């Protein structure tokens, strides 16, 4: 009997979703950063039908693994006019369905790894056979519900008093290694990093929710669904694995943030660091400056990536 085909990249992989080229520079720098910190595991890009030919060419030129996935949407749509990015976010639930893998760690493309975090591949989670009925369905960091930019369309209960990270301010040392309980604050995971044991039973529960009218009430797409369906039954990992750049801001969660401990930075909100980089190339840097010091980390890694690629004779707009 022939050996069963190995899943693309091996039994444990990082994945990231891409639907267009807007985040492609971010994705390429994420891949570079994972390799720079000597991760043992490859990044597999999950692309949808909308990903264009020039994007495929960029991935292929760099030897980055990729596989097609369907574009997920709930049956009853929600208006995300104020945050159109959320239309794409439903497809970040796909890793739960990739049952050929033993472990998938889904990453957003607006992240960079600053330190090796391969230990995420070994966090204890429920066996796939439990089908989403256990107490450790997946692992993630909490969503920050402080709404520091005071966006008017965000839920009224998104305030610092309801944020899980606020509950850790009195013990910043512990916050570096232990996440607040998954029920802390509003009990919502951030969808930017999800540690998953793929399971058909779990994915069936997710699919059922996408098919229900309830999905139309989710303000934050995939992470709202996960926080609702699996409330209190996910493993909360510390902020260092999904260090939202806003946590570092003074008066948000700088009480717990420690630069030297952060393993993975998440560049939420706009402008993205690559917007600044692109503007600088055009001599328009003043129009896209975020004044966020953490962006310098991405810009430095991106510059390293581009120099190495140029040496290899690889140069494109990404």
**C-alpha–C-alpha distance, residues 165 and 230, integer Å:** 20
pLDDT at residue number 218: 78
Mark the ranges of the chain whose per-residue pLDDT is less than 70. 1-5, 75-88, 283-291
SS3 140: strand
Write down the pLDDT at residue 278.
Answer: 76
pLDDT at residue 241, rounded to an integer: 98
Dig out the tokens for 41 from the structure: 């595991």
Does the pTM exceed 0.75?
yes
**pLDDT score at 1:** 35
Burial of 213 (0-12, 13-18, 19+ CB in 10 A): exposed
pLDDT at 303: 96
Distance of CA 135 to the CA centre of its chain: 22
106, 92 contact by CB (below 8 A): yes
Pick the CATH number of 12-309 from 3.40.50.1950, 3.30.230.10, 3.30.1280.10, 3.90.550.10: 3.90.550.10
Cβ neighbour number for residue 231 with a 10 Å cutoff: 13
pLDDT of residue 176: 98
pLDDT at res. 285: 57
- Between CA 156 and CA 17 the distance in angstroms is 30
3-state secondary structure of 113: strand
């Amino acid at each position: 009997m022939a050996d069963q085909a190995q899943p693309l990249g091996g039994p444990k992989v990082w994945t990231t979703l891409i639907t267009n080229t807007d985040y492609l520079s971010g994705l390429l720098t994420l891949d570079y950063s994972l390799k720079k910190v000597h991760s043992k595991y490859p990044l597999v890009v999950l692309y949808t039908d909308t990903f264009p030919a020039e994007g495929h060419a960029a991935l292929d030129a760099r030897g980055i693994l990729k596989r097609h996935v369907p574009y997920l949407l709930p049956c009853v749509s929600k208006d995300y006019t104020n945050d159109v990015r959320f239309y794409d976010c439903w497809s970040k639930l796909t890793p739960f369905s990739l049952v050929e893998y033993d472990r998938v760690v889904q990453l957003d493309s607006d992240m960079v790894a600053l330190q090796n975090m391969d230990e995420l591949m070994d966090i204890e989670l429920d066996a796939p056979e439990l089908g989403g009925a256990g107490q450790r369905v997946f692992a993630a960091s909490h969503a920050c519900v402080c709404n520091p930019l005071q966006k008017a369309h965000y839920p009224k209960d998104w305030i610092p008093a309801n944020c899980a990270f606020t509950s850790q301010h009195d013990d910043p040392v512990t916050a570096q290694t232990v996440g607040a309980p998954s029920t802390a604050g509003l009990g919502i995971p951030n969808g930017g990093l999800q540690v998953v044991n793929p399971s058909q039973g779990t994915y069936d529960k997710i699919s059922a929710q996408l098919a229900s009218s309830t999905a139309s009430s989710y303000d934050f797409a995939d992470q709202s669904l996960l926080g609702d369906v699996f409330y209190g039954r996910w493993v909360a990992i510390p902020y260092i694995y999904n260090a939202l750049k806003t946590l570092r801001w003074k008066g948000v969660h700088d009480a717990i943030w420690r630069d030297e401990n952060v393993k993975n930075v998440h560049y939420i909100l706009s402008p993205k660091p690559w917007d600044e980089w692109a503007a600088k190339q055009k001599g328009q840097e003043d129009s896209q400056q975020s004044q966020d010091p953490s962006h310098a980390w991405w810009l430095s890694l991106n510059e390293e990536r581009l120099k190495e690629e140029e040496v290899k004779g690889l140069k494109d707009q990404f």
